[in-house]
């Protein structure tokens, strides 16, 4: 079975994504400007740490950070105010959480997560509960992304896996939509295009393509 090599220096992916503000103050506007200038992917060489995603967003007039660091738990912190605090803990995955992403549907905030337990899970942040779990992959799920191209649905998730496939899921209607089988190695990452409303999907694999 193909696995990710444990190197002395591994690349930690820090993704700053999805800035949203429902009510702005002057201080919030400053933070939003700063974050917007940093909406990019940074590669930080930390040596002992495995790849993980951090997603930052302004939600409900506050700044939150949600992350999973080589663990089965997803943590959400409020960091807008001087005294940061833990807001939510999401504990359903049975193995390492490799990737997380967020989206808004019907004015509600959702997080999707991909794990070594071979599942893609969707969380309703307002109710602090899991609302969906998908089990189609047969290996670690290394990357999950909400699809910007399916805005008319706004409930489509794309995932890439150790099983060499890329899959699309509709969490609102609880179904798998499509499977791509082109890669011959594990698919480590996926990204929707920033143009054409996210119509194009880019993928990176251990097969060197």
How much is the pLDDT for 60? 34
- Tokens 């193995």: give the residue: 95
Q: Are 111 and 123 in contact (CB under 8 A)?
A: yes
The predicted model scores a pTM of: 0.63
How much is the pLDDT for 187? 94
According to DSSP, the residues that pair with 13 across neighbouring strands are 43
Exposure string of 182-203, with b = 16+ CB inside 10 Å and e = fewer, is: ebeebbbbbbbeeeeebeebeb
How much is the pLDDT for 194? 85
- How many CA within 13 A on the CB side of residue 181? 3
Q: Which tokens belong to 122?
A: 């969707």
Query: pLDDT tens for residues 47-106?
Result: 333 333 333 333 333 344 555 555 556 556 555 555 556 666 777 788 888 888 888 777
**Has domain 11-205 been given CATH number 3.30.70.270?**
no
């Amino acid at each position: 079975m193909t696995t990710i090599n444990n190197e002395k220096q591994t690349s930690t992916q820090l993704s700053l994504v999805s800035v949203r503000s429902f009510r702005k103050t002057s201080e919030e506007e400053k933070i939003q400007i700063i974050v917007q200038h940093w909406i990019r992917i940074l590669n930080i060489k930390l040596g002992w740490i495995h790849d993980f995603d951090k997603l930052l967003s302004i939600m409900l007039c506050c700044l939150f950070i949600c992350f999973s660091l080589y663990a089965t738990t997803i943590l959400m912190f409020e960091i807008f105010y001087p005294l940061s605090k833990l807001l939510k803990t999401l504990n359903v995955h049975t193995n390492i959480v490799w990737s997380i992403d967020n989206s808004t549907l019907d004015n509600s905030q959702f997080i999707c997560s991909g794990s070594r337990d071979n599942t893609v899970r969707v969380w309703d942040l307002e109710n602090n509960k899991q609302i969906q779990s998908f089990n189609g992959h047969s290996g670690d799920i290394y990357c999950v992304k909400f699809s910007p191209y399916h805005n008319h649905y706004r409930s489509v998730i794309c995932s890439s896996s150790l099983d060499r496939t890329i899959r699309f899921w509709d969490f609102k209607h609880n179904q798998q939509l499509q499977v791509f089988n082109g890669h011959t190695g594990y698919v480590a990452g996926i990204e929707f295009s920033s143009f054409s409303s996210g119509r194009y999907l880019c993928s990176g694999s251990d097969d060197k393509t």
